[in-house]
Chains A and B, each alone.
Chain A
Amino acid sequence: MQPQSVNISGIGKGFGADDVLKGIDLSIRPGEFLSLVGMSGCGKSTLLRIIAGLETADRGTISIGNRDVTEIDPADRNLAMVFQSYALYPHMTVRDNIATPLRMRRLPFFARLPLLGRVVAKAETLREIDASVRQAADVLQISHLLDRKPAQLSGGQRQRVALARALVRSPAAFLMDEPLSNLDAKLRAHMRGELSNLHDRLGATFIYVTHDQIEAMTMSDRIALMSEGRIEQLGTPDELYQAPATLTVARFIGTPSINLLPAEIDASSNIVLFSRKLGLQADGTSRGPATIGIRAEDIFPATDGIPARVLRTETQGADRFVTCQLVDDTSICLVMREKAGTTTGVDSEGLIRLGFSKTQIHLFGSDEKRCIVRQLEQVMA
């Protein structure tokens, strides 16, 4: 089956008095790997469940390809889903688990019944199903596990069985609900790579829900970052990292978290940080309190920088994260990322002066939206 587009328009959903989804519009292209990412409770799982048909939306429509599926039974949407718990049928062998979606679709009702089914089912259909199961198992390298029960498998193997069950019938799109969160860190990193490869190989549409921004960043073609039932920003991983549209996006994406400094936009649009004009101007009409975001890698030791005290240094292998507390305003900590093994600018009393490149700052107005920053010709520091 050709990969299909998934179009979501105006989806709203409330549980009781709370609106979990407040009008979501999203077009997922055929063959795209799209991640829905956000904090827990942001509505990403609910949105996925609405796409799957497990929940009904209060308003809005879902279409797959050119077909409106809003009112259609999950079984008829031709989607596959990988659950966080994998949801393997524990009483079935791996083979039967993978075969289930095919049995449900290709065998007539009486052939699916226990006992009677063995007599009624056409041998040819059963052979076809078995061949498809083998093929799916080969893709995920679990052919040697086909006769085991899920309880006899490791977490990573169960994950593969769940994937095999999803891909065995070439669905219109794959839905994944935090599929890697039950794996240990090393296996998770490995499976990220495998999932990406699988996506490239199948060319299928993937809709992937995660709260882990690293998973979203590493695998996705595009990310939809959700917060409080809305999509904050939709874009490629690079766009979200380099030009976060809102403060929420800036906070969510990136490890270590972005450094945020309280700043001000004065009446003539100058950006003021710690009562000093930075020689930058904000576009637009936003005035008053603002926030400057600076990524850890954009901070470096500078002789004329802001004085700070080093609180701790974490070596991450190639990089080193240095957490510093500002001397002037001790409520603010900054994290600097630098190459490990280099000498830092820390003096004998643990003090350092921090500078940053003015072209690399992110400015957010009082409405928490991104403001474009213009550099003035002359620095008026």
Chain B
Amino acid sequence: MFFVFPAVLLLLAIYIIPMIVLAAFSVTDYQLGALSTSFIGLENFRKAFADPVFMRALLNTVIYAVIVIPVGVFLALGIALLVYNRKRSRAFWEIAYFLPVTATLVAMATVFQFLLHPSLGPVNAAITWFGFEPVGFLSNPSLLIPTMAIIGIWQVLGFNMVLFLAGLTAISKDLHEAVRIDGAKNPVDRFLTVTWPMLGPTTMFVVVTTSISAFKVFETVAVLTKGRSGSEVLLYALYLEGFEYSNTGYAASLTLIFLAIVLILSIGQTLHMDRKVHY
């Protein structure tokens, strides 16, 4: 019993106590630096779900996740399958796709700002060259979230690809050969019989981590749009409340909502996929 004490202490100090403090803040109207504060029960949560800005942020985040998760996972799988079969150029492709993971998104966002600029950017130059109207990727409110999602995909792709490559490498060569001898002539059969089922654990991990990072979208919004109408997302709303407006109590309740969503999502996916995944 005595030996677990340091670990328990660390666990309490780092995870448990901050969570309790957060929960405590969330039921008060505390503002950072305020001299007095009062207990207001679940008023913050009621207010959040009645707040059209927060609800829009929630909806935008969900739309963002719905684009980023499937595309970020399956495109990464497709690239991993292509890269896996390269012999000499494999290292090059791995590095090329992994670079965005190492690059700071805030710094890269300026590059995207240039690329997508309506008059200066090469993307719009290409679009107008084909005879279309320039697209306001970063000004048209209805395009903001899809644009963010594409940048988000660009960022998770390399990491997911590396994870899938690791998963592919772990599949025994014998299984690929067995299925060929068993009569699978076309690649789709081989993929469905061996590769896809054997990638189960990897896929589960990739889906869960991609979901979490999708719900955590923040930097691109903060840098490229500053949360302009149409690009409100959960974490940005939270940041505004907590750091710009100093509504600590309200921000704490938003944080709890955010944590609950991520937790439910991760646990739900894990439980659902665990039944299908073979280890």
Contacts and interface: CB of A to CB of B under 8 A. Distances in A.
Interface of A: 52-54, 73-76, 79-81, 83-85, 87, 89-92, 100-101, 104-105, 109, 112-114, 149, 165
A149 B198 CA distance: 14
Contact of B172 (A52, A85, A100): A85
Nearest to A90: B278
B192 A100 contact: no
10 smallest beta-carbon distances between A and B, as pairs? A104-B183, A87-B174, A91-B278, A87-B178, A91-B197, A101-B182, A75-B185, A75-B183, A74-B180, A83-B174
A87 B172 contact: yes
Contacts of A109: 186, 188-189
B200 to A, nearest CB: 7
B55 interface: no
Contacts of B177: 52, 54, 74, 81, 83, 87
A136 to B, nearest CB: 13
A54 B181 CA distance: 8
A89 B194 contact: yes
A165 B181 CA distance: 11
B224 interface: no
B91 interface: no
A87 B197 CA distance: 14
14 contacts: A53-B181, A73-B180, A74-B177, A75-B184, A81-B177, A85-B174, A87-B172, A89-B194, A91-B278, A100-B179, A100-B182, A104-B184, A104-B189, A109-B188
B120 to A, nearest CB: 48
B247 to A, nearest CB: 49
Interface in B167-212: 172, 174-175, 177-186, 188-189, 192-194, 197-198, 200
A92 B184 CA distance: 16
A160 B278 CA distance: 21
A101 B182 CA distance: 4
Contact of A76 (B185, B188, B192, B197): B185
Given A76-B185, A114-B192, A87 B175 contact: yes
A181 to B, nearest CB: 14
Interface residues of B, number: 22
A1 B177 CA distance: 23
A104 B192 contact: no
Given A83-B177, A89-B193, A91-B278, A165 B185 contact: no
A165 B182 contact: yes
B119 to A, nearest CB: 48
A100 B178 CA distance: 10
A33 B160 CA distance: 49
Contacts of A104: 182-184, 189
B192 A89 contact: no
Given A54-B177, A89-B179, A109-B189, 20 more contacts: A74-B177, A74-B180, A75-B184, A76-B185, A81-B178, A81-B181, A83-B174, A84-B174, A85-B172, A85-B174, A87-B172, A87-B175, A87-B177, A89-B175, A89-B193, A89-B197, A90-B278, A100-B182, A101-B182, A165-B182
Nearest to A92: B197
Contacts of B182: 75, 100-101, 104, 165
B175 A101 contact: no
A111 to B, nearest CB: 12
Contacts of A53: 180-181
Contacts of A84: 174
A101 B197 contact: no
A92 B174 CA distance: 16
B75 to A, nearest CB: 21
Contacts of A83: 174, 177-178
B183 to A, nearest CB: 3
B185 A73 contact: yes
Contacts of A101: 182-183
A91 B197 CA distance: 7
Nearest to A165: B182
* Candidate in A52, A76, A100 with the most chain B CB atoms within 10 angstroms: A100
B197 A112 contact: no
Nearest to B188: A109
Contact of A112 (B175, B189, B194, B198): B189
A265 to B, nearest CB: 49
B65 to A, nearest CB: 25
Nearest to A55: B177
Contacts of B180: 53-54, 73-75
Contacts of B181: 52-54, 74-75, 79-81
A109 B180 CA distance: 15
Nearest to B194: A89
B252 to A, nearest CB: 44
B192 to A, nearest CB: 7
Nearest to A171: B181
B87 to A, nearest CB: 14
Contacts of B184: 75, 104
A67 to B, nearest CB: 17
Interface string B195-238: 00110100000000000000000000000000000000000000
Nearest to A84: B174
Interface string B237-279: 0000000000000000000000000000000000000000010
A379 B48 CA distance: 113
A114 B192 CA distance: 8
